Each structure stands twice: as structure tokens, then as C-alpha cells.
């Protein structure tokens, strides 16, 4: 019995056993956790839409691109730390793994404080710049400011859950997140439905729940004496290690910020179509968040799988595992597409009772649905490359798809489809541009994976070199970077 509990709740060594079993076992709790995390914003939208109205629903949706923009820098730190953690765990370097964890937590504290202050002060100016409609401006600002005021909870949950996943533990972050998710639902109903605090109540419920999940993650991490060396020294930042975390994580952070910046630009176009379409877009993106979650989940799983096996010098397992991950991810996407085509209208009706919003949103979901196959390919292959330490290639793919492709297509189609009925162009242009970006991204990522430069980016060369043994990258790795 004790062995079963250890297997379920302990860390997972993905360098042994069947690759496909490793990936699925790791991904299932991770997928449930990601879905639960998506529920934070989705429950906010459902309860706000049902109890306050479409304007409030639009306000919650209009806030998301700004939140994700400022979250991008933090996600870079999380990504860089997770890659290094997974490789050190695979290489069985306990002392240096501990130092990585401690340095990352200290760095997270400073970055989260910076983002909190920045977010609170820039929210209203950015909303003005984006041309946010007057009728939802103040509600959107209230939601943003409250979320950023409690940003430290989201920061520490995400960074510690990423560290735990890098060591193969995807179960305990899931349990903590489920606790916080149910708490969020209860608080949403209390603050929004009972107390009638509107979007501000939804924001308060979210940050309280995120802080609880962060505290639970911290407690879990501090009790992992079998994997980490817990002491005060581990929290003193090692500057050369910070340099490596930032250097590996920065491309991922830039990638996230590119996505978010493109989202802000497209949000400006969305705002121009009016409050009703903003509400439509809010609901579509909530449903899309769930639909796209399996692809991102398998991408994260492949990062850990590749990182651990490269750290152990088992490149053959990485190649085999990539094929397995691709098959499972594409099958999952096929199921999702089928569900959207059949139940799209029902899903839209969960958020609003307005027929116009439901009908238009259903059309947009159908338009996006077949792009999930492309996203599955992109995320699995990008996950492998990131696990190897190559975070630059996925960054360039993101630049090409979001800046060079998506934004021009969105505005170009809107311009070309202007008519008496649609003086600003057809709103479908926004989703056609997103679909195009996903398909093109899959093609470019597959080519980059096939070329194989990512295989030379490993931070730990089969035990021959370690950035934490030498504190400097070997010359050949410096040149490759």
C-alpha cells in the first residue's frame, strides 16, 4: 500500500519504463489540473454573465490580454527553471537541483512584486489605448487592478507547480488546484450572486483561491526532503544560475509576450466591433481555452519527458516518446473537434442567454475547431525542443505566426470584407487569422524539429558537463546558444 501511495503522489522518473505510459500517466493529472485552472476564469465568466449581464461578461474578457501580457515575463522564469529542474532531476544531481529550486523561488518573489505594481498602474492607460468601450471601461479596470493586486498567489502557484512537474510530480499540484478551484466557485457565488459585488467580486474570489493553492504548493515543496536539500542556503540566489535560468527562460517569456501583444492588437480590433462581439469573443476564448488545453498539456509533458531523458543521456527514448506523444495528442484533438461540432451551441449557452451571442459564438467555434490538430503538433514538438534547452526556435515560430501572419490577416480581412452590413469588416476575420497561425505554426515547427538543431542544446551532456558543476556553460554550448 505504501509503495502504491509513493508511486501515485511521489515524483516520476520518466527515464525508465514505456515512454507512452510515462507520458500518459504524467499527462492525466496535469490535464485535469490545467482544466481546473482554466475554470478560474471560466467560472468568473459564467457567473458574471448569468448574474450581472453581457456587459460584465465583456469586461472580464477585455481584461485577459492585458493580464497575459504582464504574465509573459513571469512565465519565462517558470519555463527556464522547469527545464533546468527536469534535467538535473534526470541526472540525479540532488544538491544542485536544490539550489536551482531555491534560487527560482527567490527570483519569483522579486518578479511578482514588480509585476504587481506595474499591472496596477498601467491597467487604465492600456484600456484607454485599446479603445475599450465606455460602458465596460470601469468594470474592466476594477477587475484588472484587483487581479494584479493579488498576483503573488498566481505567481507562486505556477512556479512551484512547474518545479514539481519538472521532478515528475503532477499529482499534488492537481490536488491543490482542485481545492482552490472549488473554493473559487463557492466564493464567486457568494461575492457575485449573493453580495452583488459584480466583476470586482469575481476578481477577489480568484485571487483568494490562487493564494490558497500557492500556500499548499509551498508546504508540499518544503516537505520533499527525499528529493531536495531543504535549508536557508538554497534560497540565497546564485547569480550565475540566475543567468542560466533567465537565458533559458527569456525566449519562452518573449514568446508569451509576443502572443499577448498580438492578442492586445487583435483585442483592439475586437473592441471596434462593439460590446456584443466582445461578449462573443469572451465566451469563444473560454471554450477554446478548454479545447486547446490537451495540446498544451502534452507539450508540458513532453518538456519534462525530454528534459529528464536528455539529462540521463537517453536520446533514443526522446525520439520514441515524441512519436507516442504526437499520436495521443492528435487523437485527443479529434475527440475535441467532434464535441465542438456537436455541442458548440450548448457550450455557448452556458455563459449567456442572448441568442445573438450564442449563434455567432457557435459559428466562430466551428471555424476554429480544425486548427486544434495544428496546435497539437506545434505543442508536442515545441515541448521536446524546450526540454532539450532550445527555447529560441519556438520563440521564432511564435513571432512568425503571431506578428508576421495573424495580425496582418486579421486586419487585412476586416478591411477587405467591409460592406453596408459590416462597415468595419466581418468579425470572422479574427478567427480566420488565428486558424491560419495555428496551421502555419505546425508546419514550421515540424520542419525545425526535423532539422534537429535542438539536439545540440542540452545543458547536461550525458553527464560530461553540468552548468552547476562548472557554473559556466562549456564553450561548445555557449557557441550553440
pLDDT digits (tens, 9 = 90+) for 140-181: 999 999 999 999 998 898 888 878 877 777 678 888 888 888
Per-residue model confidence (pLDDT) at position 282: 86
pTM for the whole structure: 0.69
Residue 182 has pLDDT above 80, yes or no: yes
Vertex 254: Cα angle to 252 and 256 (nearest 5)? 70
Mean pLDDT of 306-324: 88
**Cβ contact 133:271 at 8 Å:** yes
Query: If DSSP states are collapsed to H, E and C, what string results for 161-181?
Result: HHHHHHCCCCHHHHHHHHHHH
**Cβ contact 64:199 at 8 Å:** no
Q: Which residues contact 343 (CB under 8 A, 6 or more apart)?
A: none
pLDDT digits (tens, 9 = 90+) for 73-96: 666 667 677 778 877 887 778 888
Which DSSP symbol is given to 46?
A: H
The distance between the two most distant Cα atoms of the chain, rounded to a whole number of Å, is 70
Highest mean pLDDT range out of 59-63, 84-88, 120-124, 169-173? 120-124
Give the C-alpha separation, 245 to 256, whole Å.
16
State the cell numbers at 241.
544560475
Give the C-alpha separation, 349 to 126, whole Å.
31
Residue (of 316, 310, 321) closest to 465 by Cα position: 310
Give the C-alpha separation, 160 to 399, whole Å.
28
Residues comprising the chain, all counted: 481
Per-residue model confidence (pLDDT) at position 458: 63
pLDDT digits (tens, 9 = 90+) for 446-478: 999 999 888 876 655 444 444 444 333 333 323
What percent of the chain shows pLDDT beyond 90? Answer: 26
Can you tell me which residue has the cell 490577416?
409
pLDDT digits (tens, 9 = 90+) for 184-211: 999 999 999 899 999 999 999 989 998 9
The alpha carbon of 207 is separated from its chain's Cα centroid by a whole number of angstroms, namely 17
Amino acid at each position: 500500500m505504501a509503495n502504491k501511495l509513493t508511486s501515485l503522489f511521489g515524483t516520476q522518473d520518466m527515464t525508465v519504463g514505456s515512454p507512452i505510459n510515462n507520458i500518459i500517466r504524467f499527462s492525466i493529472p496535469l490535464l485535469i489540473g490545467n482544466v481546473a485552472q482554466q475554470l478560474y476564469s471560466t467560472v468568473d465568466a459564467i457567473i458574471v454573465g448569468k448574474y450581472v449581464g453581457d456587459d460584465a461578461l465583456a469586461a472580464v474578457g477585455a481584461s485577459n490580454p492585458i493580464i497575459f501580457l504582464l504574465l509573459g515575463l513571469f512565465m519565462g522564469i517558470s519555463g527556464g527553471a522547469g527545464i533546468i529542474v527536469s534535467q538535473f532531476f534526470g541526472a540525479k544531481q540532488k544538491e544542485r537541483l536544490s539550489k536551482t529550486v531555491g534560487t527560482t523561488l527567490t527570483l519569483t518573489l522579486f518578479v511578482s512584486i514588480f509585476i504587481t505594481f506595474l499591472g496596477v498602474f498601467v491597467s487604465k492607460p492600456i484600456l484607454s489605448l485599446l479603445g475599450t468601450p465606455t460602458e465596460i471601461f470601469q468594470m474592466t479596470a476594477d477587475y484588472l487592478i484587483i487581479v494584479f493586486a493579488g498576483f503573488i498567489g498566481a505567481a507562486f502557484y505556477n512556479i512551484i507547480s512547474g518545479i514539481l512537474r519538472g521532478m515528475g510530480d503532477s499529482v499534488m499540484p492537481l490536488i491543490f488546484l482542485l481545492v482552490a478551484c472549488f473554493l473559487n466557485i463557492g466564493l464567486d457565488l457568494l461575492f457575485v450572486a449573493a453580495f452583488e459585488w459584480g466583476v470586482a467580486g469575481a476578481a477577489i474570489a480568484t485571487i483568494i483561491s490562487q493564494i490558497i493553492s500557492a500556500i499548499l504548493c509551498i508546504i508540499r515543496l518544503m516537505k520533499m526532503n527525499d528529493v531536495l536539500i531543504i535549508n536557508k542556503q538554497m534560497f540565497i540566489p546564485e547569480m550565475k544560475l540566475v543567468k542560466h535560468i533567465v537565458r533559458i527562460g527569456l525566449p519562452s517569456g518573449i514568446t508569451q509576450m509576443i502572443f499577448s501583444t498580438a492578442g492586445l492588437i487583435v483585442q483592439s480590433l475586437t473592441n471596434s466591433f462593439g460590446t456584443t462581439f466582445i461578449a462573443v469573443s469572451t465566451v469563444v476564448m473560454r471554450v477554446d481555452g478548454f479545447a486547446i488545453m490537451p495540446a498544451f498539456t502534452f507539450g508540458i509533458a513532453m518538456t519534462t519527458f525530454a528534459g529528464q531523458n536528455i539529462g540521463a543521456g537517453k536520446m533514443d527514448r526522446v525520439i520514441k516518446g515524441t512519436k507516442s506523444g504526437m499520436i495521443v495528442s492528435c487523437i485527443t484533438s479529434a475527440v475535441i473537434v467532434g464535441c465542438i461540432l456537436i455541442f458548440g451551441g450548448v457550450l455557448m449557452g452556458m455563459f449567456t442567454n442572448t441568442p445573438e451571442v450564442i449563434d455567432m459564438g457557435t459559428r466562430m467555434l466551428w471555424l476554429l475547431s480544425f486548427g486544434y490538430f495544428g496546435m497539437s503538433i506545434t505543442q508536442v514538438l515545441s515541448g521536446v525542443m524546450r526540454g532539450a534547452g532550445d527555447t529560441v526556435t519556438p520563440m521564432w515560430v511564435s513571432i512568425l505566426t503571431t506578428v508576421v501572419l495573424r495580425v496582418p490577416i486579421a486586419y487585412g480581412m476586416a478591411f477587405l470584407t467591409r460592406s453596408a452590413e459590416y462597415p468595419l469588416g466581418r468579425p470572422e476575420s479574427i478567427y480566420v487569422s488565428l486558424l491560419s497561425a495555428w496551421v502555419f505554426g505546425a508546419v514550421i515547427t515540424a520542419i525545425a524539429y526535423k532539422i534537429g538543431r535542438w539536439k545540440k542544446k542540452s545543458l547536461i551532456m550525458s553527464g560530461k558537463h553540468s552548468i552547476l558543476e562548472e557554473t559556466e556553460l562549456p564553450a561548445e554550448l555557449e557557441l550553440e546558444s
